[in-house]
Amino acid sequence: MERLRDLLHLDVLTVTGRTLGENLDELQKNGFYESCASYLQGTGVAPEDVIRPLEKPLGTDGAIAVLRGNLAPGGSVVKHTAVPEEMFGVTLRARPFDCEEDAIHAILTHAVHPGEAVLIRYEGPKGSGMPEMFYTTEAISSDPALARSIALITDGRFSGASKGPVIGHVSPEAADGGPIALVEEGDLIRIDIRGRSLSIIGANGAEKTPEQMEAILAARRAAWSPRPPRYTKGVLRFYTRHAVSPMRGGYME
């Protein structure tokens, strides 16, 4: 807050009974900042390495990005600061799975290969309550052959500690008939993080025009039918019936 001081409303009252500006002034006077800096002595780390100066930000476009396209019309989220540079713009072959357990098994048994996009669907709020895809991300990041060569795309979620090319919160979710439910084995998935897009650009390993892809997805949607609900009683049944899309926060209407 001291670094951001010139941008803050210093006259707001705080729980100390003093204003924010008065609190920051007190910290300057009582040696708080010097005391904190002393913990770094001998580490080779400077205070500016921990909390950077305002005029020298770590980056200019934040840590996360929202990607949209015909795979995620409602949006999806990627922590691009944790994505290898070579994965910022790639076309991958789709490997869809209808639950996380099946995806993990395929990864651990080496049935997933470099150049593929692992899609885990029906794990959104209505599909399964939107659990964290933690174990799948760990399985990928711990495999040297996959960590920098495949992507994980899901209507589920990740924690802030996720790393690698993992894209979550794909909306609409599969349980609502979102495009992620229509992806088939061998479809071509284009990830363009700089362009903020996530799209299905081909089918059966062959690239298609946008018009052709739209027609293919329309035909698949006409043949698609909702899956039986995973939860049929209790609180989870109530939640999954009333939850909104992942990009809207998964709250209940």
**Which of 35, 128, 159, 245 does the annotation list as catalytic?**
159
Average pLDDT over residues 86-102: 96
Please state which CATH number belongs to domain 65-248. Answer: 3.50.30.80
- Greatest Cα pair distance, the chain, in angstroms, is 70
Segment 55-86, tens digit of pLDDT: 888 777 888 999 999 999 999 999 998 899 99
The Cα 184–Cα 93 span in angstroms is: 10
Question: What is the per-residue pLDDT for 224?
Answer: 97
Domain ranges within the chain, ordered by starting residue: 5-50, 65-248
Predicted local confidence at residue 61, as pLDDT:
83
At residue 230, the pLDDT reads: 87
Most confident of 10-19, 54-63, 134-143, 235-244: 10-19
Is the preceding omega at residue 53 within 30 degrees of 0, hence cis? no
Distance CA(119)–CA(218), nearest Å, equals 20
pLDDT, mean over the chain: 94
- Is 0.95 topped by the overall pTM? no
Q: pLDDT: is 55 or 16 the higher one? A: 16
* Percentage of the chain lying above the pLDDT 70 cut: 100
Question: Could you confirm whether 159 is annotated as catalytic?
Answer: yes
User: How far is 162 from 62, CA to CA, in rounded Å?
Assistant: 16
Percent above pLDDT 90 for the chain? 81
